[in-house]
Structure 1
Amino acid sequence: MSGIAKTPQPPYYAVIFTSERTSGDHGYGKMADKMVELAATQPGFLGIESSDRDQDGLGITVSYWESLEAVRNWKEHSMHKVAQEKGKTVWYQRFGLRVCKVERDNFFEM
């Protein structure tokens, strides 16, 4: 999935994950792809947007969900929990997670 996610009319929820990686891949790329594929099959998943890491190594991924229940279910998914643990022990120097309710959106397209 790439580009701007096609989300429904608000309200819906955005999970914003910002991270700074450790050096080396250590299986990160493969697991990241697998998590996007898995998330896309989960009930309540609406889409995902991700930026490439900038020169400072900051990565930003935003996933969209129809409800807080869907967000919680994804957080607790067994394979996602494996990736979360590996992130804490191997892949990330630091990360932040924000869950937001989207009440309004606006898009422009040529």
Structure 2
Amino acid sequence: MTHTLVSGLEPPYYTAVFTSVRPDDPEGYGETVQRMHERVQDVPGFLGYESARTPGGIGITVAYFRDLESLTAWRDDAEHEAAKRHGREHWYERYSVHIGRVEQSYHYER
């Protein structure tokens, strides 16, 4: 789970919203998430991400990318593909992915 919000991005940019249901803390999950976080940092055009999970197992991760090419590069990354495959086979009860173009963005900070 992230504890800061991504803000100050200049539109347009793209989001990949990943919503999922899985058991709390399945074996190997934390290590894989950490590795994917390290790996996505190297994708040109990656802007950041936010993630949260309810105690009941519903998770939402929003990743931000400058353009569709960078988002596609992450989607097609071989190690990321292997992690997704493992997740479908072992961790997730269900998930969905939504891709969107952000045309307007603003934030508030006290």
Structure 1 length as normaliser, TM-score?
Answer: 0.92
Aligned to 1:8: 9
Q: Between the two proteins, what is the percent identity of the paired residues? A: 36
Q: Distance in 2 between matches of 1:92 and 1:2?
A: 23
Matched, 1:75 2:75: yes
Offset, 1:68: 0.6
Offset, 1:24: 5.3
Q: Which runs of 4+ in 1 moved over 3 A?
A: none
What amino acid is the match of 1:3? T
Q: How many residues are paired up?
A: 109
**CA shift in 2, pair 1:7/1:97, >3 Å:** farther
Aligned to 1:62: 62
What is the CA RMSD across the aligned residues, in angstroms?
Answer: 1.4
Native 8 Å contact 1:13 1:100 kept in 2: yes
Point out where structure 2 has 5 or more consecutive residues left out of the alignment: none
Point out where structure 1 has 5 or more consecutive residues left out of the alignment: none
Matched, 1:35 2:36: yes
Q: Distance in 1 between matches of 2:35 and 2:8?
A: 22
Native 8 Å contact 2:7 2:106 kept in 1: no
**CA shift in 2, pair 1:8/1:15, >3 Å:** same
Offset, 1:55: 3.1
Aligned to 2:85: 85
Offset, 1:7: 4.6
What amino acid is the match of 1:74? W
Native 8 Å contact 2:15 2:65 kept in 1: yes
Native 8 Å contact 1:3 1:49 kept in 2: yes
**CA shift in 2, pair 1:82/1:76, >3 Å:** same
Q: Distance in 1 between matches of 2:35 and 2:7?
A: 21
What amino acid is the match of 2:7? K
